[in-house]
Amino acid sequence: MSLKLENYIGISMVSSNKKNLGRFEKSDEADGIDDVRLWNELKQGNIEAFEKLYKKYYKPLFLYGYKLSTHREIAEDCVHELFFKIWNRRDKLSTVHSVKPYLYKAYRSVVLDYIEYNSKRIETRNLPPGYDVEFSHEEFLINQDKTEEGSKKLNDVLNSLTKRQKEIIYLRFYKDLSYDEIADVIQIKNQTVRNCISEAFKDIRKKLASLF
C-alpha cells in the first residue's frame, strides 16, 4: 500500500520493531498501460488476456466485495459473475483508459445489486440490508507495520466513521485509487470525495489525539 494513513492523520503509530508481513498489491503506471493492452486484446477474443486480468484482479475485487457484503460466498460469486459478463459481452465492451477503476465500479454494482435482490429472498444467509466496510486491526499490522495496540485503536476509530467515509478511505488507502477514480466508482463528484476524506480525518485526528 503506497499511501499511509498516519501521513494524513498526523499521528505516528509506526512500530520500531517492524514485521515483514507483506503488503497488498499496488499498481503503477506500467501496470495501467499493460491492463489497457490486455483489455483491448480481450475485446478481440484473446482468452489469455482475459485470464491474466482475471488472475490479477480476482483477489483485490474479492477483498472489496467481502468488505461490502461481509460474505465470502457473495464476494466470490460476484467476481465470477462480473468476469462471466465481461467475457460473454467482450465484443460490446467499451474502450477504457484505466481498467482498474472500471472493474471496481462494475464489481461494486454487481455486489450491491446482489445484496439488494437477495436480502429478502435468502434469509438463511442473513444478508445485511445494505452494505458497509469494516476495518480490522490485523490489516493495519500487515499493511502499515503498526504496533498491535496502535492498529487496534486506529481500527476502532475508523469503524466509527460513516459507511461512505469508510468505503472512500478503503478505496483510497487500500486500493490506491485516485480521487477521480473513487468518484467514478461510487458515482459521486470528485469534490464530494475530497470533502468526505477531509471530514473523516478531522474526526479521526480528534479522536486519536486523546489516545496517543
- CATH fold for the domain made of 132-209: Arc Repressor Mutant, subunit A (1.10.10)
Give the residue among 107, 142, 113 at the shortest CA–CA distance from 130: 113
Write down the CATH number for the domain with range 29-125: 1.10.1740.10
- Rg over alpha carbons for the chain, rounded to the nearest Å, is 18
Domain ranges for the chain, please list them: 29-125, 132-209
pLDDT along the chain (212 residues), means of 10: 51 35 44 91 97 96 93 95 97 94 97 84 49 53 53 82 92 93 96 94 84 62
Residue 87 has a pLDDT of 97
Residue 90 · residue 42 · CB < 8 Å: yes
Could you tell me the CA-to-CA distances from 31 to 53, 72, 100, 163 in Å, in that order? 11, 27, 10, 30
Can you say how many angstroms the Cα of residue 177 is from the centroid of all Cα atoms in its chain? Answer: 8
Domains 29-125 and 132-209 agree in fold: no
Cα(167)–Cα(200) distance, rounded to whole angstroms?
11
Q: Which three cell numbers stand for residue 29?
A: 503506471
Residue 32 has a pLDDT of 78
Residue 59 · residue 107 · CB < 8 Å: no
